Structure 1
C-alpha cells in the first residue's frame, strides 16, 4: 500500500494520500487548497490516478482542496450526507464503504465537533478528522457542534476499535503525527472523565478563540460545487422533465455514473445503462461501450447530484462525442420532479 501523510503548517492540517500500489487509483483525505500543486506532483511521481477526494467534515480553519482537485483531475468529491456544502459528487452515511481499487474504508458517523463529522477506518488505522485528536479532541462550540454527541462518537464508536488501531487525525499543533486507540484511551486528558456530563462540562468551558480563517474558510467550503450552469449555458444540460421525455425512445440512452452502492440505496432509473464514473474514460475510448452507443444514440449522463455527469459531458466532448447531455441536479432532482425510479 502507498500511504503518505502530508502537512500544511499554516493550518496544522494533515492530509492523507492512499493507494493500493503504484499505478493504481488513489484517494486523498482532507486536502488543503494551497497544497493542491504538491498533491498533483506527488501523484504524478507515484504514477497514481486520483479518483476520490474526501473531507471528513466542513472545515473552518482552511479552504478545502476538493474543488481544485476535482477541476484538475476530474476526481469525485466526497463528504458526509449532513454536509452543508452546496454540491459534492458523493455523499456518505454511517455504515457505508468508501472504495477505490484495492482499498476499502469503513464509514463511521462521528458528530460532535461538527454535525457532519465522519471517520474512516481501515484494517489497521482510522482517520478521525477533528473528532479525536492526539491527546485532545475537536472543539464543539460552533457549526452545530455538540459535546454530548462527541462523547458518544468517541466512547461509543472510536474507542471500541482495537487498542492497536493507528489514529491519524486531521490536525495536530504539537508535532505529533500518529497515535493509537489504546494510547488515547490511557493518555488523552480529555478522555479521563467519569461520564458524558463531565465531558460536556469540560468542553463547554474551553473558551477558545475562533479559528483565524473561519470567516473565509466556512463560506468558501460551502460553495465548492462544479459550475453546472456553465455546462447548461453551452446547451449540454437537460431538466429532469426533459430527461423523462426521453425514456423508452431509441434515439437516446441514459447513462448512470453512480457506484453500485448508490444505485442500491437510492434506486435506478428504468432502462439506464450502468457505467461507474471511474470507468468513463475507458468506455468513451474507441473500443468502449459508450463510444459504440454514441454511434447512433445520444448519451444522457446522470449521477447523484449532477457533478459527475457534468464532468462526463465535457469528457465526452473531449473524446469527440458531441451528442452528449446530462441531467442537471442528478437523480436527486429527478426524484424531486417525481421521475420514475425502480429498486
Structure 2
C-alpha cells in the first residue's frame, strides 16, 4: 500500500494507493490543497480514482466536488460494504453521531475515522445532524470492537500527532472512559464548544457541491478588470441609480472610512444575507 498523509492546519487528508495497480483514493481532501494532492499522486505514479469525504464537513471546504476528473463517491453504501481499489479493499462502516452521514474506512492495518474518533477525543455532536446517542452506539458497538491494533487516522488533529490505535484510544481517550450511555450523552451535551468559522457557508458548499464565497470572489476578480478610485468616482457621479458599490470589509473598517453610497455587507455574512440585501432583479 502506498500512503501519504497531508495536513492542512488541523485538517487531515490521506492519499491511499494500490502498489500493484497504482489506483488511489483521496480521503477528506481540502480544496486549497488540490495541487499538492496531484503532485503527490504524480510523484508516486498514482491515478486518483475516488474522492471520499468521511462526513459532511462544517469547518472547511471539501475538494470532492472539484472537477479533477475523479469520480465522487456520493452513492448510498451499506454498513460493511467493500470498495475495490486495485488489489486493496476499503470496508465502509456507517458511524453516525458527529453527523448523520459519518463513515469510517478500514484499509488493511488502519482505519480512517473521520470525526467519529479523534486522537484523545471524539467528534462533537452539537452541529447540524449531530446525535450523542448515535455517537455512543457507533463508538462502543461498532468502531471500538475492531482489532485493537488498528491504526487510527482521524480527519482532524491539532497537536501534530500522526496517528493512534484503537487500543490506545480505548485506554487513554478521556471521552471513551464515559462508557455508560447516559454519562457519555451528558458529557457530549455539555462541551460548550465554539462554532466553526463560516459554518453555514461550509455546510451549504459541501452538501450541494457549490462554490464558496471565496471561490466566487476569486473568479470574479479574475474576470472583472481592476478599477482605480478615480474611475470609480467617475462611475458613481455618472450613475443613474443602477450602480451598487458593495463593501465587504468588517464594520469597524467600514466606519473608519468608505466610499460614499457604498453598502456594507461583511464577507463573513455575505452568504447569509445576500438574498435579503440584493434581491434578484429578474
TM-score category, normalised to shorter length: 0.7 to 0.9
1:280-317 Cα shifts (integer Å, max 9, x gaps)? xxxxxxxxxxxxxxxxxxxxxxxxxxxxxxxxxxxxxx
Instruction: Choose which of 52, 63, 66 in structure 2 pairs with 1:65.
Output: 63
List aligned pairs for 1:66-145, cutoff 5 A.
Answer: 66-68=64-66, 71-72=67-68, 74-78=69-73, 88=74, 90-145=75-130
What secondary structure is seen at the aligned counterpart in 1 of 2:98?
coil
Shift of 1:19: 0.7
Is the contact between residue 117 and residue 123 of structure 2 (CA under 8 Å) also seen in structure 1? yes
The runs of 4+ residues in structure 1 deviating greater than 4 Å are none
CA distance in 1, matches of 2:174, 2:155: 19
**TM score, norm. by length of structure 1:** 0.60
The number of residues matched between the two structures is 211
Q: Is the 8 Å Cα contact of residues 23 and 49 (structure 1) preserved in structure 2?
A: no
**Alignment-derived partner of residue 8 in structure 2:** 8
Partner residue in 1 for 2:166: 181
Q: 1:22 Cα shift?
A: 6.9
C-alpha displacement of 1:188: 0.1
Show structure 2 runs of 5+ residues with no match: 211-282
TM-score relative to the length of structure 2: 0.72
Alignment of 1:322-337 (within 5 A): none
For residues 34 and 92 of structure 1, the distance between their equivalents in structure 2, rounded to whole angstroms, comes to 28
Match 1:149 to one of 114, 117, 134: 134
Partner residue in 1 for 2:274: none
For the 8 Å contact 1:52–1:77, the answer to whether it is kept is: yes
Residue 248 of structure 2: aligned partner: none
Q: Secondary structure at the match of 1:4?
A: strand
Of the three residues 43, 51, 54, the one matched with 2:52 is 54
Q: Which residue of 1 aligns with 2:42?
A: 44
How far is 1:91 from its partner? Answer: 3.1
